[in-house]
Amino acid sequence: MKHQRHFGTTSPSREEVQTKTLIADIDRIVQILDGDIAAEEEQARVFDPSQAGYPMLARKLAARRDNLRQTMAALEMRLAKPAADRNFPSL
């Protein structure tokens, strides 16, 4: 029996659900990183990344957080495209 895809259905595809789940997971990680950055800044009492005394760990966590935000934006842009135009790998 051959499976047929129905165009115009309202049920999200498996890839779409997985992508939305991934975005939510990344968002939670970003929130954790924000808290960790704030804790490092508070401990060092330096809140400006341009100052020499700014904690190195906070710099590294901020870079990771920013990369994750870019990843989230790319995934959200992919979801905004029509399903036929997405480049999800087939499983």
Residues 47-69: pLDDT tens digits?
999 999 999 999 999 999 999 99
Indicate the length of the chain as a whole number: 91
Is residue 22 predicted with pLDDT exceeding 80? Answer: yes
Residue 83 DSSP code: G
Domain-wise residue ranges, the chain = 15-81
17 compared with 5, residue with greater pLDDT: 17
Supply the pTM of this predicted model: 0.75
89 compared with 71, residue with greater pLDDT: 71
pLDDT value, residue 57 = 97
Output the six-digit token pair for 22: 């991934």
